[in-house]
Amino acid sequence: MMDSETLLHELLSEVDVRINGSRPWDIHVHDPALYTHIWRDGLLGVGESYVEGHWDCDHLDAMVSRVLSGRVDARIQPQTLLKIGSRVVSTRLRDWLNPQRIARARKDVASHYDLGNDLYEAMLDSRMTYTCGYWRNARDLEEAQEHKLDLICRKLDLRPGMRVLDIGCGWASLMNYAAEHYGVRCDGLTLSREQAQLGQQRADAKGLPVRFILQDYREFQAEQCYDRVVSVGMFEHVGPGNYRTFFECVDRQLAKHGLFLLHTIGGAESTDRTNPWINKYIFPNGVIPSMAQIGQGIDGLFNLDDLHNFGPDYDKTLVAWYRNFDDHWPELAERYGERFYRMWRYYLLTCAGAFRCRSLNLWQIALTKVGAPLPVSVREA
C-alpha cells in the first residue's frame, strides 16, 4: 500500500504542484504531521494543518486553482472507518434536522459577522461592502464596489419614493447607496448586531431613510408589500431545506408588479454541504446553491428575467480584500493573533483560487412574479 506522503506527491504532481518545489504555487512542508492530518481528516485536515503551520505556499490562490481544476480535492478524503461512519451519521442527521433553523442561524451569523467591525473596516472598501465587486472599467476595489451597487440599483429600476427590502443587508452599503443616489426608502433584515449598530450609525450620519431590523427573514412580516426586494450575499446561508421557504417569503413581501434581485455565489452541482474547513471555521452551515436548486425554489412563484454570471470578479475582490487585510495586519495583530492571520489568509486566498478556476460562480438573478410585466430595466438590458 502506498504511504500517505507518496500518495500526496502523486496527486499534486498531476496538476503540476510540487512538494518543497521552488515555484510560487508549490507547497513547502514544515512538519510531516501534515500527511497524517490530511489522510485522517481530508480537506478539513488540509486547512487545519495550514493554520497550525505544518505547511506554506507563497501563492495559495494559484495552488488551489490548479488543485480544483484537476479535481484533486475530490480525491483527498478521510480514510478511516471512523470518519466514514461519522459522515454517514452526519448525512442522516441533516435529513432529520434543519442545520439552518432560526436559532442556529443567529449563532452562525454572529460567529462570522460579529468578529469585530475593526477587521472588516480594515479589509473592505469605505462603504464596507462584503460581497463581490463588479470590476468592469474599475481601477480598484472602491470603484468595483461602487459599480456593483449601481449595477444592482439599475437592474432594480429604482425610482424616487420606492420602498426597498434588503434581506441580509450587511452594513447597509447597498441601502445607503440606493437611498442617497436613487431616492428610495430601505429596510434591511440582518441577524448581526454589530452590523446593525454600525450600519445604522452610518445611515443616520447622512440622514438617510434607512432602517435596520434584527429579524430572520422567516419571522419578518411587513405591514405593506415592497416595490423591490434584494438579497446580496445572504442566500449562501439559507440552506437547501429552506430555499422554497426563502422564495415564498420574498413572494409575500414583494408587490405584485415588483422586482426581486438575488446576488449569490453559485455552484455547478447540487449539494447540501460545503468544504468542511470553511464550514467549521468560516461560514458554519453555509451551502452554495446550484441553478437547479434555485430553479426548484422559484418554481411556480417567479419568472427568471435575467441571469448575469461574473464569477471571475470575485477572484479579484478576494485578492483585494486579502491585500487590505495583510496591509492592516500590524493594527489587528494584537487583538486577533497569528493563528487568526493564517486562518483568514487561507480563507481569502483559497476562495480566490476557487473562483479563478470557475469552480464557483457569482450570479445576479432578476426575478418577477408569474404574470407580472417585464420591468423596463430588464427589457432595455
pLDDT bin (cut points 50, 70, 90) of residue 374 is confident
Same domain, 66 and 155: no
Same domain, residue pair 81 and 157 = no
Which residues on neighbouring strands pair with residue 242, listed in sequence order? none
Domain housing 342: 102-379
Q: Are both 116 and 174 inside the same structural domain? A: yes
> Counting beta carbons within 10 angstroms of the beta carbon of residue 274, is it exposed (0 to 12), middle (13 to 18) or buried (19 or more)?
middle
Percentage of residues in the chain with pLDDT exceeding 70?
Answer: 88
Domain shared by 85 and 171, yes or no: no
Domain ends where: 71, 96, 121?
96
Question: How many whole angstroms separate alpha carbon 318 and alpha carbon 316?
Answer: 6
Using alpha carbons, select from 183, 39, 194, 185 the residue that is nearest to residue 120: 194
Domain end among 61, 96, 131: 96
pLDDT at 258 exceeding the cut of 50: yes
Give yes or no: residues 235 and 276 share one domain. yes
Q: Which of 132, 249, 351, 357 is catalytic?
A: 351
- DSSP letter at 291? H
| pLDDT tens by residue, 212-252 | 999 999 999 998 999 999 999 999 999 999 999 999 999 99
Work out how many domains the chain is built from and give that number: 2
- Whether residues 27 and 141 share a domain: the answer is no
Half-sphere exposure of 323 (CA within 13 A, CB side): 9
Same domain (yes/no): 245, 319? yes
Residue type at 309?
N
Inter-axis angle of helices 193-205 and 102-113, to 10 degrees?
A: 60
pLDDT value at 96 more than 70: no
**Residues 247 and 140 reside in one and the same domain:** yes
Who wins on pLDDT, 376 or 349? 349
Return the CATH number at 343.
3.40.50.150
Same domain, 187 and 328: yes
pLDDT digits (tens, 9 = 90+) for 117-128: 899 999 999 999
Domain end call among 74, 96, 118: 96
Rg (CA), the chain: 21
Between vectors from CA 46 to CA 71 and to CA 275, what angle results, nearest 5°? 60
Q: Is 351 considered catalytic here? A: yes
pLDDT of residue 114: 62
pTM of the predicted model as reported, rounded to 2 decimal places:
0.91
* Nearest Cα residue to 261 out of 121, 363, 160: 363
The answer to whether residues 183 and 50 belong to one domain is no
Which parts of the chain are beta strand (E)?
Answer: 27-29, 55-57, 163-167, 185-190, 210-214, 226-232, 254-267, 302-309, 360-369
pLDDT of residue 378: 58
| Residue 319 predicted with pLDDT over 50 | yes
CB atoms within 10 A of CB 294: 24
Instruction: Judge contact between 63 and 353, C-beta under 8 A.
Output: yes
